[in-house]
Structure 1
Amino acid sequence: MGVPSDDVVLIQKGKNPGEPYILTVNCPDKTGLGCDICRIILDFGLHITKGDISTDGIWCYIVLWVVPHSSSVIVKWSSLKNRMQSVCPSCLPTFYFNEPSTSSSISPVYLLKFFCVDRRGLLNDVTQVLCELELTIQRVKVTTTPDDRVLDLFFVTDNRDLLHTKDRQNETLEQLHAVLGESCITCELQLAGPECERRQGISSLSPVVAEELFRCELSDKEIHSQALSPDMTKLKNANVTVDNSLSPAHTLLQIHCADHKGLLYDIMRTLKDCSIQIAYGRFTPTTNGYCDLDLFIQQNGGKKILDLDKQNALCSRLKVEMLHPLRVIIVNRGPDTELLVANPVELSGKGRPRVFYDVTLALKSRGICIFSAEIGRHSASDREWEVYSFLLDESCSRFQLSNMVARNQIVDRVRRTLMGW
């Protein structure tokens, strides 16, 4: 029998200040549910510190301990509960075994267009408002004019599916006007045309740059830049092992690695894309920023993973996702300096949350202005990637962007912000 919908997701505040919130999900199971929940948690700026997952293939029970990534994160817990409930299967007497994780409808794309006087950190301030409003940036086109004005085109979807209402539109425009202040010249919101719903590529991505950006192994240049930060050396210490001796029906997957922002999402996304089902899982922190995961898994069809080639392929795929979950490089684009960031896209077509916000935050903290920016998709290594391109304005930066040390420092800062370090 089902449970009342209000009990599908429970959010319990920590007993003492600073203690994690406890999120409990109790609902029918479906393939990829853990990935969907972890993605929403990441989208709300929360970090999973510990977790337990249990399912019999029909019903699942998930408990996650979460804290905000930073003190600046304002969490709307009621909205988080609603979003988590929206991806849970209906609690009806009739259950659907391994119901696919698909959306019943595609959210319409809206065009947010504003023209204003440029200032340092403007793009990040706007992006923060969009995150707080639960608007997902699908595409963006940012252009700075010679007279220091900026035209920003944001193509967004509404996670609440309310942007068609006048109240929601007014709320969005009011909050944007509040952050833009007197610098705002015009600000408009309208339904985008059908041509804007198509995913576009990054025009500046040459074959040479693409090869460097999407390589599976870290290049010598990236290893050198990672050495600038002690935190980044943790990435080299990831261990994934398979054990078929402890369970007659399940394969035990054991992972020991450095913790980072969205780690559980990266693992769940990978298992979902590989059609791997989790029967039981435990995520626990260890010392010095590391964590352990024990996952009892099965292949699609309810079988253990006995084939050595499949075991090695799964372990290698997981290690790549943990060692290199986001790609960050700086290249020359003619006379300009271009920062490129890429992350893999789920097979469902969803990209990683909050990447645009994190990158603009990192650049803002270093006093680096953005001349132009865009988001696109690119296919490489038999998968689709979401690519963020930023042309950096050297005239307002205290860094000499042609200097290799300065470039490595920028890459290091962006990468550490994306990883939550």
Structure 2
Amino acid sequence: MGILYDYEDVVLIGKLRSQGLAYYKPEFQQQPKPPDVFLLKFWCYHDRKGLLHDVTEVLCELELTIKRVKVSTAPDGRVMDLFSSQTPDVKPIRTSEGHNANPKNELHTKKRQEDTIHRLKAVLGDAMMSVEIELAGPEVTACSQGSSFLPPAITEEIFSLELPNERSNGSAASNSLSVTMDNSLSPSHTLIQIICQDHKGLIYDIMRTLKDYKSRLACDASGWEEDSDPNKRNALSSRLRMELFRPLRVAVRSRGPDTELLVANPVELSGRGRPLVFYDITLALKLLNIQIFSVEIARHMIQDREWEVYRILLDEGDGFCVSRNKIEEGVRKKLMGWE
């Protein structure tokens, strides 16, 4: 387990935009063509703990974004895993001969598919029976966008936007988090000082919050005016505190007779989700010696924000004896980089 410590980060930002802190969504900007989505289907002779994480690790190394996962186990013990994966959104880099020197988004080519299959075989070994890779149709691509409805019990428990000091059961972590703004140190900028517990992706969480609020980062010596509107400063301060206190939502709950692990993270306005979330989830479950029965990854609009939601049913077969509190703690610590 790593050492927990306070972390102080200082960010200079320019004047907050006059239209306030509302999220900005361009209406008339032409959207680029979305990256291709591919289906990776493979059969294994038998299941084992950590299999899903090992496959996820290979796909992450190949920079493929996992959009959806389906795990099925046949009565004879064979396992069929179906991954819906998206190629990275990168532009081709052409050599003088016309070849693409950056083939990460070329999963449709035979060479790229053969390389992917070779990497999977190296991880799965003799357990793998077959692998198929094909371009997904529009109906599969549409499935990655979840419905706008989740059970009320989930939305109330997981997606609350209350600040830590507004809760009756405030924790020590929330009490040690502070965000202060100062206009006295610079005639043209607002200084933001953040003191909080360190976690994986701390700078990312600060920057995505500022970016989504359209705050201008001070990157040169131009004379931007400082922000003197206390309402805007208070709103941004509250949002930063909430985002840093709960950058991810983790819960273990009942889903009918089964146990479900639920993890959610906000999606940036650019449409990008938080990197490596599924990788950390599967690694945490592998370390806890827990197998995964099924996975659903989808995006939902909740309280005017888009969330990426992971709903994972756990395999509670013979010998399953890990408490829900231990599962939630193990997954949260891995996601936050606390061990």
Structure 1 length as normaliser, TM-score?
A: 0.65
Q: 1:194 aligns with which of 132, 138, 141?
A: 138
Q: 2:87 aligns with which of 141, 146, 158?
A: 158
Runs (4+) of structure 1 exceeding 6 A deviation are: 49-56
Q: CA deviation at 1:325?
A: 0.5
Taking a change above 3 Å as real, the CA distance of residues 126 and 50 of structure 1, as seen in their structure-2 partners, is: farther
2:208 is equivalent to residue 269 of structure 1? yes
Taking a change above 3 Å as real, the CA distance of residues 274 and 203 of structure 1, as seen in their structure-2 partners, is: closer
Amino acid at match of 1:122: L
Q: CA deviation at 1:363?
A: 0.7
After superposition, the C-alpha distances for 1:51-91 in whole angstroms (9 at most, x for unaligned) are 999999xxxxxxxxxxxxxxxxxxxxxxxxxxxxxxxxxxx
SS in 2 for 1:395: coil
Taking a change above 3 Å as real, the CA distance of residues 335 and 202 of structure 1, as seen in their structure-2 partners, is: farther
SS in 2 for 1:247: coil
Q: Residues of 2 paired with 1:50 and 1:147: CA distance?
A: 55
* Structure 1 partner of 2:101: none
The 8 Å contact of residues 253 and 297 in structure 1, kept in 2 or not, is answered as no
Q: 1:133 aligns with which of 62, 70, 77?
A: 62
Q: 2:154 aligns with which of 181, 199, 209?
A: 209
Q: CA RMSD in A?
A: 3.3
The 8 Å contact of residues 368 and 396 in structure 1, kept in 2 or not, is answered as no
The 8 Å contact of residues 267 and 318 in structure 1, kept in 2 or not, is answered as yes
Where does the alignment leave 5 or more consecutive residues of structure 2 unmatched? 1-6, 15-28, 89-103
Taking a change above 3 Å as real, the CA distance of residues 153 and 307 of structure 1, as seen in their structure-2 partners, is: same
After superposition, the C-alpha distances for 1:134-161 in whole angstroms (9 at most, x for unaligned) are 1111222223334333222211122221
The 8 Å contact of residues 163 and 238 in structure 2, kept in 1 or not, is answered as no
Q: Residues of 2 paired with 1:369 and 1:389: CA distance?
A: 14
SS in 2 for 1:277: coil
SS in 2 for 1:253: strand
Amino acid at match of 1:107: P
Amino acid at match of 1:415: R
Number of residue-to-residue matches in the alignment: 300
Q: CA deviation at 1:105?
A: 4.0
After superposition, the C-alpha distances for 1:339-370 in whole angstroms (9 at most, x for unaligned) are 10000000111111111110111011011111
The structure whose residues are more often strand, as a share, is 1
Q: 2:113 aligns with which of 164, 169, 176?
A: 169
Q: CA deviation at 1:336?
A: 0.4
Q: Residues of 1 paired with 2:147 and 2:280: CA distance?
A: 20
The 8 Å contact of residues 124 and 357 in structure 1, kept in 2 or not, is answered as yes
* Structure 2 partner of 1:327: 249
* Structure 2 partner of 1:112: 40
2:336 is equivalent to residue 419 of structure 1? yes
After superposition, the C-alpha distances for 1:79-110 in whole angstroms (9 at most, x for unaligned) are xxxxxxxxxxxxxxxxxxxxxx9985421111
Taking a change above 3 Å as real, the CA distance of residues 320 and 54 of structure 1, as seen in their structure-2 partners, is: closer
The 8 Å contact of residues 148 and 301 in structure 2, kept in 1 or not, is answered as no
* Structure 2 partner of 1:33: none
Q: Residues of 1 paired with 2:304 and 2:297: CA distance?
A: 20
2:77 is equivalent to residue 148 of structure 1? yes
After superposition, the C-alpha distances for 1:230-249 in whole angstroms (9 at most, x for unaligned) are xxx54542110111122222
Matches within 5 A, 1:380-391: 380-391=302-313
Q: Residues of 1 paired with 2:222 and 2:117: CA distance?
A: 46
Structure 2 length as normaliser, TM-score?
A: 0.79
Q: CA deviation at 1:115?
A: 1.9
SS in 1 for 2:105: coil
Q: Residues of 2 paired with 1:253 and 1:216: CA distance?
A: 22
Q: Residues of 2 paired with 1:415 and 1:386: CA distance?
A: 16
Q: Residues of 2 paired with 1:51 and 1:163: CA distance?
A: 40
Q: Residues of 2 paired with 1:273 and 1:376: CA distance?
A: 21
SS in 2 for 1:155: strand
SS in 1 for 2:218: strand
Matches within 5 A, 1:292-307: 303-307=225-229
The 8 Å contact of residues 344 and 386 in structure 1, kept in 2 or not, is answered as yes
SS in 1 for 2:321: coil
Over the matched positions of the two proteins, sequence identity in percent amounts to 54
Q: Residues of 2 paired with 1:370 and 1:161: CA distance?
A: 29
Q: Residues of 2 paired with 1:102 and 1:396: CA distance?
A: 53
The 8 Å contact of residues 276 and 297 in structure 1, kept in 2 or not, is answered as no
SS in 2 for 1:123: helix
Higher relative contact order (CA 8 A, sep 6+): 2
* Structure 1 partner of 2:217: 278
After superposition, the C-alpha distances for 1:241-285 in whole angstroms (9 at most, x for unaligned) are 11112222211111111111111111111111100111059xxxx
Q: Which moved more, 1:165-174 or 1:137-146?
A: 137-146
Amino acid at match of 2:236: L
After superposition, the C-alpha distances for 1:8-39 in whole angstroms (9 at most, x for unaligned) are xxxxxxxxxxxxxxxxxxxxxxxxxxxxxxxx
Taking a change above 3 Å as real, the CA distance of residues 297 and 242 of structure 1, as seen in their structure-2 partners, is: farther
Amino acid at match of 1:209: I
